[in-house]
Amino acid sequence: MRCPKCASTLDKVVDSRISKDGSTIRRRRECMDCGHRYSTTEQILRENLYVMKRDGRREDFNKTKIVNSLRRACQKRPVDAEQINILIEDMIDQLENEYGMDIPSGAIGDKVLENLKSIDAIAYIRFASVYKDFRNLEEFLDEIGALSPKPIL
């Protein structure tokens, strides 16, 4: 690990903490040359995961795409980054267990919706409006109505 201040490779770990879901470790480091302190995150690398697109193409799984879309859906909502990370890690584990290394793109979107519904209804609707590509207002209202315990006028 290189110090972000002086680029030295000599450092020591001052503190380590495991995340709530146990998927990452945060390490606080101190540079032995300049004394600068910085944090690093260690997580499991998921290699050889692929997404099977609807048109038959196969592309590398890109977690960043999911993170970015969830951040947009959860923008200005009471959902913190840790909740998003836990949702994504749990979702990837479930998809990997169910489909192996080749995950259908539709399964990813469906799993995001399923998990997002329990976190924040507004974020769910935002994500659904893009993912489900509503064609008219009735489809949009039907989706909102499915979330609501009582009928919407």
CA distance to 18, 45, 49, 67, 115, per residue, from 92 (Å): 19, 12, 10, 12, 11
pLDDT of residue 45: 67
pLDDT band with cut points at 50, 70 and 90 for residue 54: confident
What the block records as the tokens of 121 is 């209804």
Token pair 């064609």 is found at 135
Q: How far apart are CA 63 and CA 103, in angstroms?
A: 13
Q: What number is the average pLDDT over the span 67-95?
A: 87
pLDDT digits (tens, 9 = 90+) for 87-143: 888 888 889 889 988 999 989 989 998 888 888 888 888 888 887 777 778 887 888
Q: How far apart are CA 49 and CA 101, in angstroms?
A: 5
So where are the chain's domains?
Answer: 11-43, 50-147
Q: Indicate whether this model's pTM tops 0.85.
A: no
